[in-house]
Amino acid sequence: MKILLSNDDGILARGLGVLERACESLGELYVVAPDREQSATSHSLTLHHPLRPVRLGERRWQVDGTPTDSVLLGIQVLMPEKPDFVISGINHGPNMGEDVLYSGTVAAAMEGLALGVPSIAVSFAGSVLRADALLDSHVGMLRTLLEHLTSLPAFPADTLLNVNLPAVEASQIKGVKLTRLGRRVFSDSITPMKDPWGREIFWIGGGSVEWSGPDDSDFATVADGYVSVTPLHLDLTHRDQLDASADWWRAL
């Protein structure tokens, strides 16, 4: 089995190294990842300057672009043949609820799916400091989970699996659950500042987060100490609303 690994935290990120260790027994690994952090780049492509993949070793490249660029180049240029799986991560922070719309980690897996490759995104649902302290303990557990997911008789069609690991030692994880996306709302996430010349600037990030959703949502599952696995797909069509809108659509 050939597996393409990528991320959005950059080629040197600790999470990517942990993911490599978890996947090393699954097959032949190819690593194509950004040369720097690309968090919250979503599914963006680099269109206004050329990309220069730099080969760092056998089956390992860094790319001066986004996670989507990395997967696109990996599948269409750098790998000798299409991989059996794309696995993205491990992100240093959660990717739950609306996070999946911004996440470069999830976007890398989405690009794999768009190119016809079964894909998995993996995130650590804690702070960067917690990730540094705890990620190494997750290698064995994650290996077992990925062995199971990549050996499914029929991987879900047109679907990527979004995995979030709880911010605890692996020995404290209670199990794995299938989940749905929760909802999250940021408050006070824009901080006004002054640059050295006194001009007003704004820093996006920080603030507080409020989560909501049923018991089987991703955030509730992770908060309860379980690994969350949420199936996602590319079709954003609101099908229930499409059916319910028949009357007002005919009236136009």
Write the single-letter amino acid at 92.
Answer: H
Percent of the chain's residues with pLDDT above 90: 75
* C-alpha to C-alpha distance for 139 and 233, rounded to whole angstroms: 27
Residue 232's pLDDT is 96
- 184 or 24, which is more confident? 24
Residue 252's pLDDT is 57
Is 164:222 a contact under the CB 8 Å cutoff?
Answer: yes
Name the 3-class secondary structure at 195. coil
Residue 80's pLDDT is 96
User: What are 148's two structure tokens?
Assistant: 């199971």
Exposed, middle or buried: residue 84 (CB in 10 Å: 0-12, 13-18, 19+)?
middle
Is 16:60 a contact under the CB 8 Å cutoff?
Answer: no
Tell me how many degrees the CA angle 170-172-176 measures, rounded to the nearest 5. Answer: 75
Which residues, listed in sequence order, are joined to residue 226 by a DSSP beta bridge?
Answer: 175
pLDDT above 60: residue 3 = yes
Residue 187's pLDDT is 67
Residue 146's pLDDT is 98
Q: Could you write out the DSSP letters of every residue in 77-132?
A: IISSS--SEEEEEEEEB---TTHHHH-HHHHHHHHHHHTT--EEEEEEES-HHHHH
pLDDT above 80: residue 104 = yes
Assigned CATH topology for domain 2-183+214-250: Stationary-phase Survival Protein Sure Homolog; Chain: A, (3.40.1210)
Residue 73's pLDDT is 98
User: What are 172's two structure tokens?
Assistant: 């404290």
pLDDT digits (tens, 9 = 90+) for 35-93: 999 888 889 999 999 999 999 999 999 999 999 999 999 999 999 999 999 999 999 99
Region 114-133 average pLDDT: 91
* C-alpha to C-alpha distance for 108 and 190, rounded to whole angstroms: 27
Residue 127's pLDDT is 82
pLDDT digits (tens, 9 = 90+) for 218-252: 999 999 999 999 999 988 888 777 777 666 666 55
CA 211 centroid distance within chain: 19
What lies within 8 Å, CB to CB, of 233 at 6+ separation is 113, 158, 159, 160
pLDDT digits (tens, 9 = 90+) for 137-193: 999 999 999 999 999 988 988 999 999 999 999 999 999 999 999 987 766 778 899
Residue 251's pLDDT is 56
Residue 241's pLDDT is 77
Using the Cα atoms of residue 22, residue 168, residue 12 and residue 51 in order, give the sign of their dihedral.
Answer: positive
pLDDT digits (tens, 9 = 90+) for 203-221: 887 766 777 778 899 999 9
Residue 77's pLDDT is 97
Strand intervals (E) in the chain: 2-6, 28-34, 54-57, 60-63, 85-92, 119-125, 160-166, 175-178, 183-187, 190-194, 200-204, 208-212, 226-232
